[in-house]
Amino acid sequence: MEFSPLQKARYAYKPKLPGMLRNGIKEICVKEGEATNSVADQEKIKALFPNTYGKKEITFEKGKNNALDKKQVVGVILSGGQAPGGHNVICGLYDALKATNKDNVLYGFKGGPSGLVEDKYQILDDETINLYRNTGGFDIIGSGRTKLETEEQFKVAAEVCKKHGITAIVIIGGDDSNTNAAVLAEYFQAHNTGVSVIGCPKTIDGDLKNEDIECSFGFDTATKTYSELIGNIERDCNSAKKYWHFIKVMGRSASHVALECALETQPNICLISEEVAAKKMSLSQIANTIADSVCKRAENGMNFGVAIIPEGVVEFVPEFSRLIAEINELLAGEKAKEFNGLKSWNDKYAYIERGLSKDSMNVFKILPQTIQQQLFLERDPHGNVQVSLIESEKLFSALVGNILAERKKKGEYKGKYSALHHFFGYEGRCAFPSNFDSDYCYSLGYNAFMLIQYGFNGYLSKISNLSKPAEEWVAGGMPITKMMNIERRHGEDKPVIRKALVELDGAPFKYFAKNRDKWAVETCYTFPGAIQYFGPSEVCDLTTRTLALEKGIK
């Protein structure tokens, strides 16, 4: 197998652990904290998790390890979309497991949670593990989106664990995956299987965070990767001086990625979905805000600019959400066949016009035809519009173009407007992890084994104090139920981990809001460049702007 020079260098990188985990596993003890409650719906969550609810938060500190000394056979699962650093979680878990007892075994279940119920696995050894240290992707065992949520699945999972003598399962995933981990942990506890379940917080979207989880892994690397690309585009934009670049970035439910990229690169425009929802902004209001920046810059001879668009922003526009709901109703059941049987777009348009309310039709009319047609093409398994497929970057550039054409007719705009479009998503999910994510993920995995050794079940591996050097990081665990509330999913009340949206009264957004008017008119671009692995610590180990601002670091 051929390796690039960077691969070889990253294989050799030694991730940094929190200070208390560097003492040697025999010198680590548990300090118990307060008992916990769920973030909301306490009685309902407690009733659903009678065996794992209300447990105490814990931290690890220097002291005699008094955990029961027994052979551990651990299974690990990668769940959901990829995020940089996943391999290092497995490497940290493996190293801690082998450092404790060389006879301990690590099973890697293939293809996500389905690997557990289908009993598809490989036993991970030194040779395999060493090929994936500090590398991006989830290809060591693959990932999947199968949910573990039925009694039958839990029963099969318990049988597979019993067959292999597995004592613990580590699930590396986002909010849904860790919700599944909590439910599986409850089942294993209720049925006295002797198998514990530990979760690790992963998602590049950054929406798995709270007072305990300061940052989900992968967010640092993904936003640095996108910011490098955006900075490159800004440099090109400022060189050619003739294009407006509309850049969509991942983040359907929250705008953490867009906000972090804006803090890193200082574009002319960055939409924040949570602000759009809070202000009940219409598509026209948003487009006019962007058009105002285009006009003001044109007055200064700058017919170019950069706008960052969160992937899911249209879902936060109230009038667009109503339109989507009406379209879903319009094509419910057999009516979809009737619509799809119409030959021409004109016939389909007339059908749509008859079926939508006047207000929703007014919104529909202002959409570019390509976007109109996207709304009626691919549907999800429930027959609903797949909003994530809407090319919102093209939607807003077209709406801005229409507004500028009207302003030009009135003599209010004399500039030139030419738009280019980009979507940065998959480019960031499997990048070589930054030093931060390499260290953080390795620590999460190492720490997960400590939780297993001490017999904790239904806990999330937790590393905090992340804005400080790794030496000062704090390792511990928190019950997953602490993060849960009840939400309506597919017509049923379900216990789920609450997603963290951008806080409009938080320091990162306030900093952005304070500076965006200047950025909208002036060219204030910053160019973060590629992720730095080698060099001064203040460059290579730099945290995200989001986390720095949240912790009061300027």
> Which residues are designated catalytic?
205
**In this structure, what are the phi and psi dihedrals at residue 527, rounded to the nearest 5 degrees?**
-125, 90
CA distance readout (Å), 514 to 162, 266, 267, 511: 57, 12, 14, 5
| Sign of the torsion angle spanned by Cα atoms 274, 260, 202, 145 | positive
CB-CB contact of 270 with 307 (8 Å): yes
Query: What SS3 class is residue 519?
Result: helix
For 486, the enclosing helix (H) or strand (E) is strand 484-489
CA–CA dist 430, 85 (Å, integer): 8
Query: What SS3 class is residue 303?
Result: coil
Helices 256-265 and 507-521 cross at an angle (nearest 10°) of 50
- Continuous H helices in 357-497: 358-366, 369-374, 392-409, 426-429, 435-453
CA–CA dist 106, 121 (Å, integer): 10
- With b meaning 16 or more CB within 10 Å and e meaning fewer, what string describes 391-424? bbbbbbbbbbbebbeebeeeeebebebebbbbbb
Cβ neighbours of residue 551 under 8 Å, at least 6 residues apart?
467
CA–CA dist 408, 411 (Å, integer): 5
CA distance readout (Å), 263 to 184, 248, 252: 39, 16, 19
Give ∠ CA 412-415-416 in degrees, rounded to 5. 135
- In 3D space, the residue among 476, 445, 505, 428 whose CA is nearest the CA of residue 168 turns out to be 445
- In 3D space, the residue among 185, 189, 194, 219 whose CA is nearest the CA of residue 205 turns out to be 219
- In 3D space, the residue among 549, 540, 530 whose CA is nearest the CA of residue 436 turns out to be 540
